[in-house]
Copies of this chain bind each other. A is one copy, B any other.
Amino acid sequence: MSQPSEVHPAWLPPSAFRALGSRRIRIDGQGPPADTVRSEVTRACAHFGGRICAPGEEADLVLAVAPSSEAGSEGFHLSRQDGSTVVLADGPAGLLHGLFEVVRRGEAAFGPGLTGRRHEPAFALRVLDHWDNVDVHPVMGQVERGYSGGSILWQDGRLRDDPARIREYARLVAAAGINAVTVNNVNVHTAETHLLTDRLAEVAALAGAFRPYGIRVHLSVNFAAPVILGDLDTADPLDPAVRSWWAHTTEKVFAIAPDFGGYLVKADSEGQPGPFTYGRTHADGANMLAAALAPHGAIVRWRAFVYNHRQDWRDRSTDRARAACDHFAPLDGEFHDNVILQVKYGPMDFQTREPVSPVLFAMPSTRLAVELQATQEYTGQQRHVCYLPPMWSGVLGFHPYGEPGPAVADVAASGGALVAVSNVGDDPFWTGHPLAQANLYAVGRLAWTPTLDPAAVLDECIALTFPGAGEPLREILHELMDDSWQTYEQYTAPLGVGFMVRPGRHYGPDVDGYEYTPWGTYHFADRDGVGVDRTAATGTGFAAQYPRPWSEVYESRATCPDELLLFFHHVPYDHVLHSGTTVIQHIYDTHFAGAERVAGMRDRWRDAVALVDPAVHARVADRLDEQLRSAEEWRDQINTYFFRKSGIPDAKGRTIH
């Protein structure tokens, strides 16, 4: 069992509570979150000399629940009143979020410059999905697509005996704004299927561990559970016995965990069972589970990640990018009120650059969740610095109908959710790469306020994580992180074409690695050009799944943004981009530039040696060495591949092997 004392405090070191902990604080509220606030404040005051005031006593900070409190509401009002800072929460959970808002602001929370205003989350549901397996999977391991060691939740086939670690995790993510955690992998294997019934006690234990921080536990369930658990011989969602099985099973869940959050389902996807087996629709499947959950006020999240993963690469008419819209758009309006359709941000699979999934604008009568991936499956696997919020902000701030008009966050936040696949494991730094903590932090912050500037979110995270480090470290970290996603994009797959990674592992380059596979992930590079024709005029028609103006913008080479050109068009290597350079020269230029930027990052980090804990410095330095090696490998493979294909030399005469 790892000792909490060995674990890095991330953005909640004791010193983050300095401003608050040195003051007089009054707390007025009941229930688990209020108790948690009380214990947080007590701990902070023990460190910094402040104290908890008695009811009615004069205080520097008052944390109170409004008289007309609403149990479910998380909002609060923060202001200065008569020399005190006051958090007036809508309900107990708001008290906790208000506390962490005060922590984030530090001394500024107690200054006259504080502008009084109301705070409330844009997304009512802000979720981290853990792709953690209970049993170590022979191929995927303990945490599928996990790059931070083992699971903090499960070990050796059972609940991990480390409540302190889980509590610390709950505290961290609650402080960032998260209010739900899915505790097992969406690929629900046999052992995990049993969590729903005979292993329910483990789920209840987790619910108890997360409850003090206002976080509800969700469970990934197996659509075939009624069959696999041996009770029925069908999982047909319209079969009365099946519906009754789910209703009774769900009742038992709530009997033991009354604040249980809901189910997450990956059905008819990559080999998982689903309603298609019984000739039913995804709406039939989701609504059956929704009916079981509705009496308990809980929801089912149903993933839209459905496509043919046994495609024939010779078939040029099938387009994986189209699949989710083709499957789900016709079902708009058919889902029950407590179904949330969970949609990956792009139409493919968490690539470094994809257009925003058109499913998000094709289903106005359906509650939607936007699914992000904090774990860096395709973005460097926490060996590479890749600060993802600039990408996420781009998705959330995308205007599907042009400007003015609602952004994705406006569309999805209405009744929907923001979800990220967690990047956390039992690594002492939580996330493998210490700088990847910022991605985890940003999930919660952007879910609460999608319009936050990514650089400002990073600033918050730096100030909390490295209190007192000052301007030099802040500058170094911004230099390393602000543009790191774009840097990663530069040296990997170009112009939105995607993939080109080692199959299975998804780390490191392999340009043709997925080109002749059944996965629907192709680039069609030949001696003349590269890219996928997804236009309506001559291609797969995917571009037409967008509303205007984007259907038109993407349809035409002349208007398609450079960074998505190869996602939508197959173009010759000498095609001239809006940037004024040719496609082939762009490939060379960005790959040389990207690797060079990584070399600069590695050098720059040396300047931080005296500014951070030696263990943090060493870990980051090691990973930067690997990032540089990997970036140079990407640069050389990509450049060589396209030089061999195109025969066009680099205009600047640099070395291409």
Give A contacts to B, CB under 8 Å. Answer: 313-314, 316, 509-513, 516, 525-528, 633, 636-637, 640-641, 643-647, 657
Contacts and interface: CB of A to CB of B under 8 A. Distances in A.
Contact of A509 (B516, B526, B643): B516
Contacts of A314: 636, 657
A526 B525 CA distance: 13
A218 to B, nearest CB: 33
A527 B637 contact: no
A645 B526 contact: yes
20 contacts: A313-B657, A314-B636, A314-B657, A316-B657, A509-B516, A510-B516, A512-B512, A516-B633, A516-B637, A525-B644, A526-B643, A526-B644, A526-B645, A527-B527, A527-B644, A527-B646, A527-B647, A528-B647, A644-B645, A645-B645
Contacts of A633: 516
Q: Is the interface of A mostly helix, strand, loop or mixed?
A: loop
Please name the 5 residue pairs, one residue from A and one from B, whose CB atoms are nearest each other, closest first. Answer: A526-B644, A314-B657, A512-B512, A527-B527, A516-B637
A434 to B, nearest CB: 29
A640 B511 CA distance: 15
Copy number in the complex reads 2
Given A316-B657, A516-B640, A527-B647, 20 more contacts: A509-B516, A510-B512, A510-B513, A510-B516, A511-B512, A512-B512, A512-B513, A512-B641, A513-B513, A516-B633, A516-B637, A525-B644, A526-B643, A526-B644, A526-B645, A527-B527, A527-B645, A527-B646, A528-B647, A644-B645
In the complex, which of the residues A513, A516, A527, A657 has the most CB atoms of chain B within 10 Å of its own CB atom?
A: A516
A54 to B, nearest CB: 62
Contacts of A645: 526-527, 644-645
A401 B646 CA distance: 43
A636 B645 CA distance: 19
Contacts of A513: 510, 512-513
Nearest to A502: B503
Contacts of A646: 527
A571 to B, nearest CB: 15
Interface centre among A314, A513, A525 (most CB of B within 10 A): A314
A184 B432 CA distance: 39
Nearest to A512: B512
Nearest to A644: B526
A527 B644 CA distance: 6
A308 B657 CA distance: 20
Contacts of A313: 657
Contacts of A657: 313-314, 316
Contacts of A644: 525-527, 645
Contacts of A527: 527, 644-647
Nearest to A525: B644
Nearest to A509: B516
A526 B313 CA distance: 22
Contacts of A643: 526
A194 B640 CA distance: 47
A505 to B, nearest CB: 11
A313 B511 CA distance: 15
A516 to B, nearest CB: 5
A278 to B, nearest CB: 30
A148 to B, nearest CB: 21
Contacts of A647: 526-528
A513 B641 CA distance: 13
